[in-house]
Amino acid sequence: MAETTASSDASKTYRAELLICAGTGCVSNRSFKIRDALEAEIRQRGLDDEVRVVTTGCQGFCAQGPIMIFQPDGIFYQMLTEEDVPLLVEEHLIKGRPVEKLMYVPPEGDEVVPKLSDIDFFRKQRLVVLRNRGLIDPEKIDEYIARDGYRALAKVLTGMTSEEVIEVVKASGLRGRGGAGFPTGIKWGLTRQAEGNGKCIICNADEGDPGAFMDRSIIESDPHAVLEGMAIGAYAIGAKNGYVYIREEYPLAMQRLHIAIDQAREYGLLGEDILGSGFSFDLAVHRGAGAFVCGEETSLIASLEGRTPEPRIRPPFPAQSGLWGQPTNINNVETWANVPVIISRGAEWYASLGTDTSKGTKVFSVVGKVNNTGLVEVPMGITMREIVFDIGGGIPDGKQFKAVQTGGPSGGCIPESLLDLPIDYERLMEVGSIMGSGGLIVMDEDTCMVDIARYFLDFLRSESCGKCTTCREGIAAMHDILADICAGQGEPEHIDLLGELAEAVSDASLCALGGTAPNPVLSTLRHFRDEYEAHIRDKKCPAGVCRALITYRIDPDKCKGCLLCTKACPEQIIRGEAKKPQTIDTEACIKCGVCRESCKFDAVLVE
């Protein structure tokens, strides 16, 4: 390996390392400013020989950002500001006293939990794909190599045939993490066997599902894992070219990917004659332009070819004829990132994780109405209850849990009665949802399930490419019915009509977008029919969301007359004297909810 930019600090040892999270979430909470302040303070105190500040990729615990981990003690600091820096350096670095007030306090307790390894959010996780998260600087290839990076690639190139690699991946039981769960090894084998001049592989990083950000996080925290996985895949399949199709909404991930590719090229890990093995492979990054349907593989190929991304009929499958007519293998970011671990630790080890049909781990983004929002990696087969309540820390503000939505717009909602269901591809399918890319959106009693169904159909309506009439018109028709129900104009026969439309849309649409589009409606109808009935029959929105069906009222017993809501109201229709209960002019109210948001006494009621 060429000794080029290998910096001295990879080998030098330090008394302490401050690992600052530089994922998108923490960066937006000024983590770079904090790093600069820390470095300045450390230099000023003359500690720069003993202490090092490292910016890492996303640590997953976005809700508590900006996050810093103090090594070697493993102390977890959260919600840092620049003002905390002098105190932190003075107390912890100089006097050796960890700063309690910057540590994590679990939602139900008041005792601080100093160590990362003791925090529930991290404790139940099993890191395979995210093995390097928060431990390395994603912009330095040396740190990846120091954690055994590219060893799997070397192993493959020096001692394994392509067929052996495919056999290992098959034996590991790895299935596509993009959502459909097709066995990866079989897919690779099909592309390998396909006839054609030149083959190509694609990494699908067009993470379209709203509420999912694992692919962004993997690329931001460990881009080389994806590159190594792709290089191994290319060797197994016999491809010389690869593409990463990444969303343009992820500028930081894109930047890190470019840096990683440049470094890998410089080290001879991409390009001609990799590691002197005679195998050549190179990568190009393609920036998406914002179209959900590009997650579908034939659309993605059309987009790469510079066309409007309309899916086409399969067969021929991309494995037979994909990009520019070449046999093409497309896998999701997380799938690629799994590959190096499978190669280096063996198929048997990987297959020991998970359930009968779904092996390994899965990365989920746990978001919505849950205390610990963030990214978690858990073994397949874990129950939804463990994710939401043990790792996620339950529902904030003592509210009641209602459902978890999985699988994005193609998925469904899982009610409380099914919380103990072990998560794998098949079991989720049985209850009317899908694994999808791994977004878990937790919903509480304040979430209206009819509104959620309407929301997803609104999303799909605008993202349908319009090729198939059933998808283009059918989704719009279903959306209009749901919008009517939310507006209080629902009729009892609407529910049957929705079911009928759902069948037509899913049967007669070409790609998975239309095929799964009715899922949000069907699953909410299945598990939350009472809410639909309340909207239609009683013209009430039990969760207090649908604007046409609710009124805001101030509880005179709770109102202290602080006038916060009066000042916030955009229509100036909250009246009353100071220090006395206020009243809302319900006729003129536009139901924006500002009053409820601003009230500190929970005095604004929704009915």
Partner 1 sequence: MIEQITTESTNGKIGAVMVLGAGVAGIQASLDLAEMGFKVYLVEDQPSIGGAMAQLDKTFPTNDCAMCLLSPKLVDTARHHNIEIITNAQLHKVDGQAGNFSVTVKKRPRFIDEDKCTGCGTCTTNCPVRNIAHFEEVDEIGQVQLDEEDSQTLQEILTRHEAERAAVISVLQDVNAHYRYLPEDVLRHVAHALKLPLSQVYGIATFYNSFSLVPRGRYVVRVCMGTACHVKGGHRILQALERTLAIPAGGTTEDKNFSLEEVRCLGCCGLAPVITINEDLYGSVTQAKLPKILDRYQGEPVAAETTTAGADDG
Candidate ranges 55-63, 102-110, 345-353, 471-479; the one touching partner 1 (CB under 8 A) = 55-63
Nearer to partner 1, 149 or 208 (CB): 208
Q: Which of 443, 481, 549, 603 is in the footprint of partner 1 by CB under 8 A?
A: 443
Q: Which tokens belong to 457?
A: 């159909």
Nearer to partner 1, 32 or 349 (CB): 32
Decide: is 172 part of the binding site for partner 1 (CB under 8 A): no
Decide: is 312 part of the binding site for partner 1 (CB under 8 A): no
Decide: is 309 part of the binding site for partner 1 (CB under 8 A): yes
Decide: is 250 part of the binding site for partner 1 (CB under 8 A): yes
Query: What residues contact residue 424 under an 8 Å CB cut-off, 6+ apart?
Result: 354, 355, 357, 358, 380, 381, 435
Tell me the C-alpha distance between 175 and 438, whole Å. Answer: 13
Q: Which tokens belong to 230?
A: 């792709």
Tell me the C-alpha distance between 122 and 80, whole Å. Answer: 19
- Find the shortest distance in angstroms from Cβ 340 to partner 1: 24
Contact 168, 343 (CB under 8 A): yes
Q: Which tokens belong to 385?
A: 């209850």
Q: Which of 254, 367, 404, 589 is in the footprint of partner 1 by CB under 8 A?
A: 367
Decide: is 405 part of the binding site for partner 1 (CB under 8 A): yes
Decide: is 265 part of the binding site for partner 1 (CB under 8 A): no
Decide: is 121 part of the binding site for partner 1 (CB under 8 A): no
Q: What are the strands of the beta sheet with 361-368, ordered from one edge? A: 374-379, 361-368, 439-444, 401-406, 412-415
Decide: is 76 part of the binding site for partner 1 (CB under 8 A): no
Contact 412, 405 (CB under 8 A): yes
Nearer to partner 1, 281 or 456 (CB): 456
Decide: is 369 part of the binding site for partner 1 (CB under 8 A): yes
Contact 244, 161 (CB under 8 A): no
For residues 91-105, one letter each, b for 16 or more C-beta atoms within 10 angstroms of the residue's C-beta and e for the rest, the string is bbbeeeebbeebbbe
- Find the shortest distance in angstroms from Cβ 152 to partner 1: 28
- Find the shortest distance in angstroms from Cβ 448 to partner 1: 10
Nearer to partner 1, 190 or 253 (CB): 253
**Maximal CA-CA distance, the chain:** 83
| Phi, psi dihedral angles at 181 (to 5 degrees) | 75, 30
Decide: is 62 part of the binding site for partner 1 (CB under 8 A): yes
Size of the site for partner 1 (CB under 8 A): 67
Q: Which of 98, 181, 327, 374 is in the footprint of partner 1 by CB under 8 A?
A: 374
Decide: is 228 part of the binding site for partner 1 (CB under 8 A): no
Decide: is 248 part of the binding site for partner 1 (CB under 8 A): yes
CB atoms < 10 A from the CB of 197, how many? 7
Through-space distance between the first and last CA atoms of the chain, rounded to whole angstroms: 68
Decide: is 463 part of the binding site for partner 1 (CB under 8 A): yes
Query: What residues contact residue 50 under an 8 Å CB cut-off, 6+ apart?
Result: 14, 15, 16
Decide: is 455 part of the binding site for partner 1 (CB under 8 A): yes
Query: What residues contact residue 349 under an 8 Å CB cut-off, 6+ apart?
Result: none
Nearer to partner 1, 27 or 145 (CB): 27
Contact 486, 546 (CB under 8 A): yes
| Phi, psi dihedral angles at 586 (to 5 degrees) | -65, -25
- Find the shortest distance in angstroms from Cβ 269 to partner 1: 22
| Phi, psi dihedral angles at 92 (to 5 degrees) | -80, -45
Binding site residues, partner 1, CB under 8 A: 24-25, 27-30, 32-33, 61-63, 65, 81, 207-213, 216, 247-251, 286-287, 289-292, 303-309, 324-325, 365, 367-369, 373-375, 405, 408, 439, 441, 443, 447, 452, 455-456, 459, 463, 465, 568, 570, 592-594, 597-598
